[in-house]
Structures are given as C-alpha cells and as structure tokens.
C-alpha cells in the first residue's frame, strides 16, 4: 500500500506529536506533497523543517511567516522556482535545495544574511547566481552536478567560504577567481573537463583538493599539507616526507577544530553529507592532519 497523499492545507496527523517534543522540528520527508500545507506556515516558532523527496512543485509566499526557521530541507523535489518569501527568513542558517529543477535564484536571495550552508547540487544552473556574492558569511556551498562553465571574477567577495563543491559541471579551464580564494579549506572539481591546473600555492588554507575524472595527466602544484584526490595523487603524496594517509574511518572524522564549522562544511546531517560524491567525502575523512 502506498503512502497516502496529505490534504493540501492540513498538517499530517502526526505533526502535533512531533511538535509536542519541544524542539520545534517538523519532518515531512517522503510524503506525497505537491505543495506545502498552508498550516505549516502558521507554525511561527518552527526552527527545523524537513520536506525532502515529497514531489513538492511549489512553495507558498507565506513561508516567510516562519521567522524562527534555522534549517530548511527541500532537496529531491520538483521545484522550478523559489518564492521571494523564502528570502525573508532572517534566522535561516542551512538550506538544502539539491535535486530540484532550479534554473536560477531570486534576486532577493541575498537577503539571507544568516545563511551558512547552501546545498544546491543537481539543479540546472548555467550561471553562478549573482545574489550569492553578497552572502559573505556563507561557509559551505555545494554546487555539484549543475551546468556551470565559469565563475564570476567577484567570487572572492565571499570571504566566509570554506568549502566549495563544483564537481560534475562543465569547466574546461580552471576558474581564475578561485586562485584568490585564499581561505578555502575544501575544493572539489571532480568530473569536469579540465586539462590542467595553475600553481595552487596561493590557496594557503587549502586542506583537500579533489580533481578526479578530469582529462589531466598529473596532480597540480600544491602545498605539502594538501590532501589530493585524482590522477597521480597517491604518487605525489608518497613523495612527501609525511606518512601515507591512513584508510578512511567508517564515519566522517573531525576535519576542523571548530565543531560548528566542521558540521557546516560536511552538510550538517550525516545523510546530507553523504549526498556529496563518495570520493570527495572519503578524501575529507582520510586527509592527514584532519582527523581526530
């Protein structure tokens, strides 16, 4: 027997029980929802809302009434656009939009100044959304499996960025703007069309660089502290004085001294962290000097 589809404007029968727990969290993932029940937008104290894999096609403008919302998961749905109301959530820190049908982001998206983690992988973005350039506090940006060919010269304005996932796009040349992202810890360019790399020593904070499945003949020039994943990476790291990296642990290791920063960079929840390509996550786990 399949899961029953909820009436459009009512809360599911177990919602009251979920909210009674006191943590102001509502889990609607896996249900059949073409639109978000209007009653959800009346939950003004809600802090976490998960609506993943429901078949959702649209969001109401009234979502802006969720002024206390911190985490919003809308991944693996059928959204083609986002309402302006979503851009007026002043406390939102994590937003998961992967696996939808988005072609662009609203101009008002730049109002999400509390946002720290944005996962928008697996959409139809052909251009880097310019509103993101104004999110200077954003730390984790997941844009894998889109259709990007270039990055804007203004990218270094995003001074808070620590993790940037660009795997599975259409880059044929290493984007020059990346060389001025001196605070990046993680950079993933797997599965593009890159034939070579510049000297990456300017990326002084880089800890993990993944470039697998590109038509390159060898690894880039990087600091000896950078863990590499790609053609010739094992041989290059074996030439260093440091020991060969240990096999990856069964769970993500601590990569950063600040637990909140680590949590943001790997996606917050284990299931969402695993949404990144496996090779990149394994690289993060096994990187020398990044474990507990």
Other CB atoms within 10 Å distance of the CB of residue 243: 9
Look at the domain 10-133 and name its fold.
3.80.10
Q: What is the mean pLDDT of residues 90-98?
A: 98
Vertex 156 angle, CA 264 and 96, to 5°: 30
Quote the mean pLDDT of the chain: 84
Q: pLDDT confidence of 101, banded at 50, 70, 90?
A: very high
Give the tens place of pLDDT for each residue, 154-175: 999 999 999 999 999 999 999 9
- Check whether 272 has a pLDDT greater than 80: no
Look at the domain 147-241 and name its fold.
3.80.10
CA–CA distance, 150 with 56 (Å, rounded to integer): 30
pLDDT over 90 for what percent of the chain?
67
- Check whether 281 has a pLDDT greater than 60: no
Q: What is the mean pLDDT of residues 4-32?
A: 75
Count of all residues that appear for the chain in the document? 292
- Check whether 199 has a pLDDT greater than 60: yes
pTM over 0.75? The answer is: yes
CA–CA distance, 183 with 124 (Å, rounded to integer): 28
The answer to whether residues 98 and 165 touch, using CB atoms and an 8 Å cutoff, is no
Q: What is the mean pLDDT of residues 84-96?
A: 98
pLDDT at 34: 86
The answer to whether residues 203 and 179 touch, using CB atoms and an 8 Å cutoff, is yes
Give the tens place of pLDDT for each residue, 132-151: 999 999 999 999 999 999 99
- Check whether 184 has a pLDDT greater than 90: yes
Q: What is the mean pLDDT of residues 185-193?
A: 98
- Check whether 280 has a pLDDT greater than 90: no
Query: How far is CA 21 from each of CA 17, 66, 92, 175, rounded to the nearest angstrom?
Result: 7, 18, 21, 47
Q: Could you give the residue range(s) of every CATH 3.80.10.10 domain in the chain?
A: 10-133, 147-241
Other CB atoms within 10 Å distance of the CB of residue 119: 25
């Amino acid at each position: 027997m399949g899961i029953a589809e909820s009436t459009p404007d009512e809360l599911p029968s177990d919602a009251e029980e979920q909210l009674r727990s006191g943590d102001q969290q509502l889990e609607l993932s896996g249900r059949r929802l073409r639109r978000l029940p209007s009653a959800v937008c009346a939950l003004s104290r809600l802090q976490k809302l998960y609506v993943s894999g429901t078949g959702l096609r649209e969001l109401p403008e009234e979502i802006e009434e969720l002024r206390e919302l911190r985490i919003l998961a809308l991944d693996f749905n059928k959204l083609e656009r986002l309402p302006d109301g979503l851009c007026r959530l002043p406390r939102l820190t994590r937003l998961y939009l992967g696996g939808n049908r988005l072609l662009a982001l609203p101009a008002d998206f730049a109002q999400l100044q509390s946002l720290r983690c944005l996962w928008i992988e697996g959409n139809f973005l052909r251009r880097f959304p310019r509103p993101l350039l104004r999110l200077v506090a954003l730390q984790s940006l997941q844009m894998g499996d889109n259709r990007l060919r270039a990055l804007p010269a203004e990218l270094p304005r995003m001074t808070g960025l620590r993790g940037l996932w660009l795997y599975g796009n259409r880059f044929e040349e290493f984007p020059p703007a990346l060389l001025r992202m001196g605070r990046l810890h993680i950079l993933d360019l797997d599965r593009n069309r890159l034939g070579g790399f510049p000297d990456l020593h300017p990326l002084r904070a880089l800890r993990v660089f993944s470039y697998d499945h590109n038509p390159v003949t060898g690894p880039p020039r990087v600091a000896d502290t950078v863990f590499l994943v790609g053609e010739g990476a094992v041989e290059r790291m074996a030439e260093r004085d440091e020991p060969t990296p240990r096999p990856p642990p069964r769970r993500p290791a601590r990569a950063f001294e600040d637990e909140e920063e680590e949590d943001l960079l790997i996606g917050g929840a284990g299931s969402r962290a695993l949404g990144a390509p496996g090779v990149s996550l394994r690289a993060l786990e096994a990187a020398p000097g990044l474990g507990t």
